[in-house]
Amino acid sequence: MAKRLGYLGPPGTFSEEAALRYDADAVRLPFPSFRAVADAVQTGMADEGVVAIENSLEGSVNDTLDLLIHEATLSIRWELVVPIEHCLLAKPDTQAPDVQVIYSHTQALGQCRGFLSRTFPKAQLVASLSTVAAVKDALASKTTAAAIAPLRAASLYPVAVLARGVQDSASNVTRFVILAHQDHAPTGADKTSLCFGFADDRPGILYKAIGVFALRGINLAKVESRPTKEALGEYIFLVDIIGHRQDANIREALDELRGIASWLKVFGSYPRYKG
């Protein structure tokens, strides 16, 4: 039986492209948000789910981080990186100078900020649920509108391509992760994602927490923070480390970290993307 794979729809999004790259034989199930994708996996509607977690221009996808930190009980099982080319799409015969409204997902609007400010300084920018939902929004608009979306959307909807490659960097890529009920078994080339926090803010506490990895020669691939959403100035720290949670040195580091941090959540271990 084919795997049921949830993704941010509708068909034609970069999330669908990530789903195709991950498992072309899976039954793809579109959902309106990353939270809905996670809910589908948690409830058994889907076997796994694809969510964006980081972009090379805009940084982390906060909706996904908050989902992992505060809500989801799922694990990260896989990661992959997808090149992102944004296109400006509109109804056929639309002239670029006539465009008054431009729709897209918030991440896409941010990734094309320079192009939009230079080329459409007076246009209204409106957030859509996804880059392909933006095409539907543009088609339904009563004013002259366009959408920033993947090129594939032009083959799925009655729109014309006004411009290609409108992202602010030619090296624009997005990192996606696969959410599942279990993470991946060790492969020898893995990554582990986790977060932790402190009940008390004391001098050197973060240094001490990060030090558990340095003392064991564990490389940190990423470190960032997110607000706890409970009080101003309180933060949750997110770390990606090289290695699997079952590796002896990482098991020791996590055990020591549990004694330093007030709480610790391991999102999972998974094969490291190599390109």
Is 72 a residue whose pLDDT tops 80? no
Neighbours of 81 (CB within 10 A): 16
How many whole angstroms separate alpha carbon 256 and alpha carbon 263?
12
The one-letter code for the residue type at 149 is A
User: What domains does the chain contain, in order, with CATH numbers?
Assistant: 4-83+172-180 (3.40.190.10), 87-164 (3.40.190.10), 190-271 (3.30.70.260)
User: What pLDDT is stored for residue 38 in this prediction?
Assistant: 95
High-pLDDT (> 90) share of the chain, %: 84
- DSSP letter for each residue of the chain: -PPEEEEESSTTSHHHHHHHHH-TTSEEEEESSHHHHHHHHHHTS-SEEEEEEEETTTEE-HHHHHIIIII---EEEEEEEEE---EEEESTT--GGG--EEEE-HHHHHHTHHHHHHH-TTSEEEE-SSHHHHHHHHHH-SS-EEEEE-TTHHHHSS-EEEEE--SS-TT-EEEEEEEESS-PPP-SSEEEEEEEE-SS--TTHHHHHHHHHHTTTPPEEEEEEEE-SSSTT-EEEEEEEES-TTSHHHHHHHHHHHHHSSEEEEEEEEEPP--
pLDDT for residue 192:
98
Which tens digit of pLDDT belongs to each residue from 187-232? 999 999 999 999 888 888 999 999 999 999 999 999 999 998 888 8
Q: In which band, very low, low, confident or very high, does the pLDDT at 10 lie, cut at 50, 70 and 90?
A: confident
Q: Please, which residues have CB within 8 angstroms of residue 41's CB and are 6 or more apart in sequence?
A: 6, 47, 48, 49, 74, 179, 180, 181
Catalytic choice (14, 31, 120, 176) = 176
43 part of the active site: no
Is 115 noted as a catalytic residue in this protein? no
Out of 120, 174, 192, 267, the active site residue is 174
Mean pLDDT over each residue of the chain, to the nearest integer: 94
pTM recorded for the entire structure: 0.86
